[in-house]
Amino acid sequence: MTNSPPLQDHSILETARRQVLEQGTGLAREQLLDVLRLPDEALPALLDLAHQVRLRHCGEDVEVEGIISIKTGGCPEDCHFCSQSGLFDSPVRGVWLDIPELVKAAKETAATGATEFCIVAAVRGPDIKLMNQVRFAIDRIKKEVDINIACSLGMLTRRQVDQLAGWGVHRYNHNLETARSFFPQVVTTHTYEERLETCTMVKDAGMELCCGALIGMGETLEQRAELAAQLAALDPHEVPLNFLNPRPGTPLQDQPLMNGKDALRAIAAFRLAMPGTVLRYAGGRELTLGDLGTREGLLGGINAVIVGNYLTTLGRPAAADLNLLVDLNMPIKELQKTL
């Protein structure tokens, strides 16, 4: 970066420059809270610092991923943000995706330049039927498409972790979603510890851990800082950062959209908590940040995107994001660099 705006007189920014940019050590929880409390006039300097951290510790590449639901709706869990819970009066109906359509979607995703294709199921954890379906899908995709396969199938047993690793699953997604202290207000059908247990097993089995966050659910800034610190302690390979898109019929349907500047502060804070992690734009950014905010986030710590649509909602057209990366002179990470 040339012509960087000078850092203003906010000591946390000076601290972050020394500690994160120069030494590669992420900020701690209280420091992250200071970042989240920075005033709007400090936002440009904060985003610039986060961008410099990303360039120095991750490089200039942007990782592109497509995601798809193999089993939609009818989930027995009560995650209050999710339209796929069978416990809420959501318009989302249960549906299974067949393997030929899944392979077709993987091919289309690879054609965008994406290196990751994540197969997702709305379940507490996979049963034998789903595991068999996933195994068959992985086999078919590996034969026909040059792309890394990730999975997100809920909570796993040790045996299932080993099976997925053995089948060549490159990365496993299991989100913390929110801070430990806020989690019981968002989910009551399983615990934070159960989520952590799956995350730990995934890492132990040698798969890359993708462990994300959903912010804007009514958590405090303290809890947002807590979440970033808890994710940093887990040290995932990737953190997908979602912004609440209030879904009809869910308990959070009336939650207001998160403020765009708060969202940008959060992006920068997550980058300063985890300087070397893949930090991916995920759901809700279109509503929370819009086109301009999307650009600012890519220049403020983000180094990965979900291309096109999400699991039950639509995203920006793939071409819009890919053109934006060209405009920003950010190359898409190539497949060989991810192996």
Partner 1 sequence: MSSPDLLPPAETPYCELCGLPLQAHSLQGVAPTEEEYDGGDAPPSYHHARCAVLLQLEPPRFCASCGRRLKVQVSPLGWWATCSRHGLHAS
Q: Using the rule CB under 8 A, which residue among 30, 101, 146, 204 binds partner 1?
A: 101
Taking the least distance from each CB to partner 1, the nearer of 24 and 94 is 94
Which among 303, 311, 316 is positioned nearest to 60, based on CA atoms?
A: 303
The CB-side HSE value for 224 (13 A sphere, CA atoms) comes to 27
Smallest separation (angstroms) from partner 1 to the CB of 264: 20
Q: Is 130 in the site for partner 1 (CB under 8 A)?
A: no
Taking the least distance from each CB to partner 1, the nearer of 39 and 94 is 94
| Whole-angstrom distance, CA of residue 282 vs CA of residue 287 | 12
Taking the least distance from each CB to partner 1, the nearer of 67 and 155 is 67
Q: Using the rule CB under 8 A, which residue among 13, 32, 92, 304 binds partner 1?
A: 92
Taking the least distance from each CB to partner 1, the nearer of 105 and 123 is 105
Taking the least distance from each CB to partner 1, the nearer of 182 and 310 is 310
Q: Which stretch binds partner 1 (CB under 8 A): 41-49, 61-69, 210-218, 235-243?
A: 61-69
Return the residue matching tokens 């990366």.
325
Taking the least distance from each CB to partner 1, the nearer of 198 and 312 is 312
Alpha-carbon dihedral of residues 291, 296, 300, 304, nearest 10 degrees? 30
Query: How many CB atoms are located within 10 Å of the residue 93 CB?
Result: 9
Q: Using the rule CB under 8 A, which residue among 46, 68, 82, 130 binds partner 1?
A: 68
Q: Which stretch binds partner 1 (CB under 8 A): 53-61, 109-117, 124-132, 290-298?
A: 109-117
Mind giving me the DSSP string for 25-75?
PPPPHHHHHHHHT--GGGHHHHHHHHHHHHHHHH-S-BEEEEEEEEEES-B
Q: Which residues within the stretch 289-318 sit at the binding site for partner 1 (CB under 8 A)?
A: 307-315, 318
Smallest separation (angstroms) from partner 1 to the CB of 322: 12
Smallest separation (angstroms) from partner 1 to the CB of 288: 12
Smallest separation (angstroms) from partner 1 to the CB of 222: 31
Question: Parallel, antiparallel, or unpaired for β 95-96 and 304-306?
Answer: unpaired
Q: Is 93 in the site for partner 1 (CB under 8 A)?
A: yes
Which among 213, 295, 271 is positioned nearest to 54, based on CA atoms?
A: 271
Smallest separation (angstroms) from partner 1 to the CB of 308: 4
Smallest separation (angstroms) from partner 1 to the CB of 307: 6
Q: Which two tokens stand for residue 67?
A: 């995601």
Interface residues with partner 1 (CB under 8 A) are: 66-69, 72, 91-95, 97, 101, 104-105, 108-109, 112, 114, 248, 286-287, 307-315, 318
